[in-house]
Amino acid sequence: MGDSPQIDAVRRFFADADSAAVAFSGGVDSSLLLDIAREVLGGKALAVTVASPLVPSAEIEEAARFCRERGIKHEIAVFDPFAIPGFAANPPDRCYICKRAVFSLVKDVASKHGIAAVADGTCADDSGDYRPGARALAELGVASPLRDAGIGKTAIRGEARARGIAACDKPSSPCLASRFAYGERITPEALERIGKAETYLKDIAAGLSPAGTFPPQIRVRYCAGEARIETEPPFAEMFAAKGSEIASAFRKLGFSRAVLDLQGYRTGSLNESLPREILDAAASPAANGRVPPDDLGFACVDIDRARRQGAPESIYGAGKTAPQIVAILRSLSARGQTPVLVTRIDAEKSAAVAAEFPGWRYFPEARLGRLGEARRPDGCGEIAVVCAGTSDIPVAEEAALVAETLGSRVRRVYDVGVAGIHRLLDKEDVLRRARVVIAVAGMEGALPSVVGGLVSCPVIAVPTSVGYGTSFGGVTALLAMLNSCAAGISVVNIDNGFGAGFLAHRIDCGGR
């Protein structure tokens, strides 16, 4: 899977971020994510592991060993969950309360290293259960590149195995607070008791398992002093055969009794007791990571657009002041959302933006600015941007630069209008190789119809406002393109190079 579009999308996230901190537990998901970050960023990748009573010390040691072996910069941040108001009471949204504090700490550690982008190992399979913690990650602007790339647990384990990651077959191990029935008060003593009980059972399972394999999924659920054991077959039968021995050991640990759950291990089993209205609310878009905008007063910045659409919000520069553009760019870049495009921005405003952002680049012909580097071409096809005349180049360049910024390969074919149609026919081989053609024209707007008759791929027609009186500022070209008899043509608004470039990239890369 190493050369797959999904893994390439994760690589692209880190390349666009330039530096990143990965919340690293040592599990297979975050191990794979961190290894990709190391591969792309080298010394600009930082692993942040949070040590607390909720995580067995052996997990912290494994995380530290992984980073040492792979030469990854590693910070261990100490965290006291009992200092968080509401945590110990263990309400149904306890995971939200805890994750909000944990990832605020991770972001603080990242910030001390000058890193804005923070990512976690949430994957595509993690959206089917009640997970209030996802809301905290979304609110804090924490990225989940594996989830966003559509990579599930099976693919993660396969890629981790190919990379020689020892945790490739390691069972998932959520924090020990997830063992408590909702409303059951969490105490340090009970956490220690559960940790020891699970270690005891894993030691038994290890003695019954083939050498070199991980023990099975084992959970000791805690309610009113009672331990409910969940595990996978055939270990349930093995534990039942050792029932008296296990019950005695659990009593010594302080449990009133131990029972074996006949339904076996299942993720989120404690959620089965939650009222329907809580589960329904959790299924809402807001609870599953749809983030409210960053309200700047003059603008509500859509900080969730990169997750939904694969690219951050772009800024229409015309009509905005330079300070407004700078403020919106700060909101997006602080969350690691780059590259950000600013369209229809003049040189004076661009100079003001450049004074605030060293990574700013201005393209005067297209009146386009970009914060952050263009994405690397991601293995899709090629887009041909064709324009009728030299006067159409500013719109054509806007389309080409937008597509390139998003990660498409672009070939430019300029000044090939129908008044000298042999110029276009000389480039027919370029047009036929393209996966998408953007055809830009003013005047009578005939170019897209001719191109549409030559190629089998989709054609995106862009009318421009170039022309004499009866061109009516591009309306004549727009109507001609809308009335084209060539099949497979779509039309965007007058001078809308941005819309054409974005759509062409979507078609080129299959919607990604």
DSSP H or E segment with residue 369: strand 368-371
On whether both 103 and 125 belong to a single domain, the answer is yes
The predicted pLDDT at position 433 comes to 92
Residue 62 belongs to domain with CATH number: 3.40.50.620
Q: Provide the pLDDT for residue 127.
A: 62
Q: Average pLDDT, stretch 21-37?
A: 95
**Listing from the earlier edge strand, what are the strands of the sheet with 226-231?**
218-223, 226-231, 257-260
Q: Is 318 exposed, middle or buried (0-12, 13-18, 19+ CB in 10 A)?
A: exposed
CA distance linking residue 25 with residue 201, whole number of Å: 22
Q: Show which of 266, 281, 314 is a domain's final residue.
A: 266
| Angle, helix 347-356 to helix 322-333, in steps of 10 degrees | 40
- Which of 9-18, 55-64, 132-141, 171-180 is predicted with the least confidence, judged by mean pLDDT? 132-141
Confidence class of residue 132 from pLDDT cuts 50, 70 and 90? Answer: confident
Per residue in 379-408, is it b (16+ CB within 10 Å) or e — as a string? Answer: ebbbbbbbbbbeebbbbbbbbbbbbbbbbb
Query: In this structure, are 34 and 158 located in the same domain?
Result: yes
Does residue 512 have a pLDDT over 80? no
pLDDT in tens, 149-197: 888 888 899 999 999 999 888 877 788 898 888 888 999 999 999 999 9
Q: Rg of the Cα trace of the chain?
A: 28
Q: 292: which 2 tokens?
A: 């409210």
Residues 25 and 70 in one domain: yes
Q: Which residues contact 228 (CB under 8 A, 6 or more apart)?
A: 220, 221, 222, 258, 259, 260, 261
Residue 511 parent element (H or E):
none
Total of domains in the chain: 4
Of 266, 285, 317, the position where a domain reaches its end is 266
| SS3 assignment, position 63 | helix
Q: Are the C-beta atoms of residues 57 and 32 closer than 8 Å to each other?
A: no
DSSP type of residue 206? H
pLDDT digits (tens, 9 = 90+) for 431-451: 999 999 999 999 999 999 999
> Is 432 inside any structural domain?
yes
The closest alpha carbon to 398, from 324, 330, 488, 317, belongs to 317
Per-residue confidence band for 287, with pLDDT thresholds at 50, 70 and 90: very low
In a domain, 407, yes or no: yes
Residues across the chain: 512
Give the tokens for residue 65. Answer: 């060993």
Q: What is the rounded CA–CA span in Å between residue 335 and residue 303? A: 8
The amino acid sitting at 308 is R
Predicted local confidence at residue 269, as pLDDT: 65
In a domain, 292, yes or no: no
Domain annotation covers residue 229:
yes
| Residue 230, beta-bridge partner list | 219
Look at the pTM and tell me if it is higher than 0.85: no
Report pLDDT digits (tens) over 319-364.
999 999 999 998 887 666 778 999 999 999 999 999 988 789 999 9
Site of tokens 């399979």 = 125
Same domain as 130, residue 13: yes
Per cent of the chain over pLDDT 90 is 55
398 and 503 co-located in one domain: yes
Outline where 313-469 has alpha helix (H).
Answer: 322-333, 347-356, 393-406, 421-425, 428-433, 447-452
Tokens of 311: 């690219």
How does pLDDT run across 377-435, given as a tens digit for each residue? 755 689 999 999 999 999 999 999 999 998 889 999 999 999 999 999 999 999 999 99
CATH number of the domain residue 468 falls in: 3.40.50.1970
Q: How confident is the model at residue 283 (pLDDT cuts 50, 70, 90)?
A: very low
Asked if 411 and 383 count as a contact pair (C-beta separation under 8 A), the reply is yes
DSSP state of 141: T
Inter-helix orientation angle 497-508/393-406, to 10°: 40
Among the residue ranges 3-7, 13-17, 92-96, 427-431, the one predicted with the least confidence is: 3-7
In the predicted model, what is the mean pLDDT of residues 140-155?
A: 85
Backbone φ and ψ of 179, nearest 5°: -85, -10
Q: What is the mean pLDDT of residues 12-24?
A: 91
CATH, residue 192: 3.30.70
Q: Mean pLDDT across the chain, nearest whole number?
A: 87
> Confidence class of residue 77 from pLDDT cuts 50, 70 and 90?
very high
In a domain, 415, yes or no: yes
In a domain, 285, yes or no: no
336 in the same domain as 400 = no
For residues 9 and 156, membership in a common domain is answered with: yes
Residues 72 and 77: their CA atoms lie apart, in Å, by 16
Question: pLDDT for 474-493, tens place per residue?
Answer: 999 999 999 999 999 999 99
Confidence of residue 279 (pLDDT cuts 50, 70, 90): very low
Q: Evaluate whether residue 271 is within a structural domain.
A: no
The answer to whether the CB of 341 falls within 8 A of the CB of 372 is no
Q: 367 with 386, same domain?
A: no
Q: Which helix (H) or strand (E) holds 241?
A: helix 235-241
Q: Does any domain span residue 94? A: yes
Same domain, 312 and 453: no
Q: Classify residue 147 as exposed, middle or buried by CB count within 10 Å of its CB (0-12, 13-18, 19+).
A: buried
Q: In this structure, are 365 and 392 located in the same domain? A: no
Cα–Cα distance, 337 to 273 (Å, whole number): 39
Q: Give the three-state DSSP class for 46.
A: strand
Average pLDDT over residues 94-100: 88
Q: Can you give the three-state secondary structure of 119-130, one letter per residue? A: ECCCCHHHHCCC
Residue-number span of the structural domain to which 208 is assigned: 188-266
pLDDT at 404: 92
State residue 312's pLDDT score.
85
Residue 440 has φ and ψ, to the nearest 5°, of -110, 125
Asked if 60 and 158 sit in the same domain, the reply is yes
In a shared domain, residues 14 and 135:
yes
Where is the domain boundary, 169, 202, 233? 169
